[in-house]
Amino acid sequence: MRKDALENRQKILTIVRNLLDKQDLEQINMKQIANTADIGIGTLYRNYENKSALAMDLVYDDMEAFIVQSEHDLQKNNVENNNQFKIILTNYLNFREKNMSLLNQVENNAKQVSIFYQSDLHQKLVNIFKQAINELNPHSNAQELTFKADMLIAMLKSDVYSFERNSRNLSQNKILDNIINLFK
């Protein structure tokens, strides 16, 4: 990628992060982003075909940080199995809470979801959960672990998670405890 294109991309991400401090992504439109970044709307669309693609780029760094921390946590041998799963799940719920608006935007776009499911980042996320679940269920085979990891990720998608938090009035800790009980 050319230097000016990289600079525009970084400028766009910085502008959107600043706008997100004041309003939700749903309230921000592409024209507002282009105007605030002082770039043409065509330049914006060359970098991001829609807000979902932009949201995925914004959330990528936080997800990568979660994965790196989780890999580190899983390498610690002095943590009880149940606590490893709890630590990783707690960190994932924190990640989801912090990025709820962005994740909702991504998850509501079938193309972005498909791109994410095919990404290395998604595979790393599945592997993190497979390892954590394996600590609780050491007799599960690889296929069962993959299924359980996929289902855990699916049940924590924005719409379901938001429903449990807002409609069922479950705290993050209660959701955490309920999920741990499901996997015991």
Confidence class of residue 78 from pLDDT cuts 50, 70 and 90?
Answer: low
Q: Lowest-pLDDT range, 1-10, 26-35, 60-69?
A: 1-10
What are the pLDDT digits (tens) for 152-183? Answer: 999 999 999 999 999 999 999 999 999 999 98
Q: What is the pLDDT of residue 2?
A: 80
Which among 149, 161, 51, 163 has a CA at the least distance from the CA of 109?
A: 51
User: DSSP class of residue 36?
Assistant: H
For 63-94, b/e burial (b = at least 16 CB within 10 A) is beebbeebeebbeeeeeeeeebbbbbbebbbe
Q: Mean pLDDT throughout 95-102?
A: 92
Classify burial at 25, counting beta carbons within 10 Å of its beta carbon; exposed 0-12, middle 13-18, buried 19 or more: buried
- Higher pLDDT pick, 166 / 101: 166
Q: Mean pLDDT throughout 100-111?
A: 90
Q: Mean pLDDT throughout 57-81?
A: 84
> CA-CA distances (angstroms) from residue 168 to 89, 131, 160, 174?
20, 30, 10, 11
Q: Please state, in angstroms and rounded to a whole number, the distance separating the CA atoms of residues 9 and 165.
A: 34
- Report pTM: 0.86
With a cut of 90, say whether residue 24 has pLDDT above it. Answer: no
What lies within 8 Å, CB to CB, of 77 at 6+ separation is none
